[in-house]
C-alpha cells in the first residue's frame, strides 16, 4: 500500500559557493515510512511549504546536488541518485546525465558536472564551488 505521507521538517542544508551561501535545501521526512522530500531555494526566496511531498521522494542518502560550473557561474540542481535524467542548465547546456549510487556522474556530452550528497550536511553547510 502507498504510504499516506506525514511530512515533518528535517532540516536545511546551506549550499555554499565561493564562500557565500547561494541557497538552501530544505529536507522533509515522512514520520511513517521515513522517506524524504527535498526542495531548493535561492537565498532571499521564500519557503513554499505547499509543495512539500508533491515531488520525488527517496531515502535521505540518495539526495544530492549536481553542480554545473560554467565560465562565469556555478549552477546547481537537486536530484536523486542513482538515476538518469535529461539535464539542462545555463552553464553547460543540454545533456543526458547518469548518476550512480556512489555519486559518480556520466554525461553524454562530456561536461564536467559534480555531484555532492547532502546527507551528513543537514543543519550544516555543503560547499560545492
Q: Does 105 help bind Zn ion (rule: CB under 5 A)?
A: no
**Burial letters 13-41, b for 16+ CB under 10 A, else e:** bbbbbeeeebbbbbbbbbeeeebbbbbbe
Q: Does 33 help bind Zn ion (rule: CB under 5 A)?
A: yes
Q: Which one among 13, 78, 89, 128 touches Zn ion, defined by CB under 5 A?
A: 89
Q: Does 5 help bind Zn ion (rule: CB under 5 A)?
A: yes
DSSP sequence for 11-67: EEEEEEETTEEEEEEEEEEETTT--EEEEEEETTPPP-GGGTTSS--B-GGGEEEEE
Supply the Cα-derived Rg of the chain in whole angstroms. Answer: 15
d(CA 13, CA 63) in angstroms, rounded, equals 11
Q: Which one among 12, 30, 60, 78 touches Zn ion, defined by CB under 5 A?
A: 30
Q: Does 128 help bind Zn ion (rule: CB under 5 A)?
A: no
Smallest distance from the beta carbon of 113 to Zn ion, in angstroms?
A: 5
**Candidate ranges 5-13, 20-28, 36-44, 115-123; the one touching Zn ion (CB under 5 A):** 5-13
Smallest distance from the beta carbon of 46 to Zn ion, in angstroms?
A: 25
Smallest distance from the beta carbon of 122 to Zn ion, in angstroms?
A: 18
Q: Which stretches of the chain bind Zn ion, using CB under 5 A?
A: 3, 5, 30, 32-33, 68, 89, 92
Amino acid at each position: 500500500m502507498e504510504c499516506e505521507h506525514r511530512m515533518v521538517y528535517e532540516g536545511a542544508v546551506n549550499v555554499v559557493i565561493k564562500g557565500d551561501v547561494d541557497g538552501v535545501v530544505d529536507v522533509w521526512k515522512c514520520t511513517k515510512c521515513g522517506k524524504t522530500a527535498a526542495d531548493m531555494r535561492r537565498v532571499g526566496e521564500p519557503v513554499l511549504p505547499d509543495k512539500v511531498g508533491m515531488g520525488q521522494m527517496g531515502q535521505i542518502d540518495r539526495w544530492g546536488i549536481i553542480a554545473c560550473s560554467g565560465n562565469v557561474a556555478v549552477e546547481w540542481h537537486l536530484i536523486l541518485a542513482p538515476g538518469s535524467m535529461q539535464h539542462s542548465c545555463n552553464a553547460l547546456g543540454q545533456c543526458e546525465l547518469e548518476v550512480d549510487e556512489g555519486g559518480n556522474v556520466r554525461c553524454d556530452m562530456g561536461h564536467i558536472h559534480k555531484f555532492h550528497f547532502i546527507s551528513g550536511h543537514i543543519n550544516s553547510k555543503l560547499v560545492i564551488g
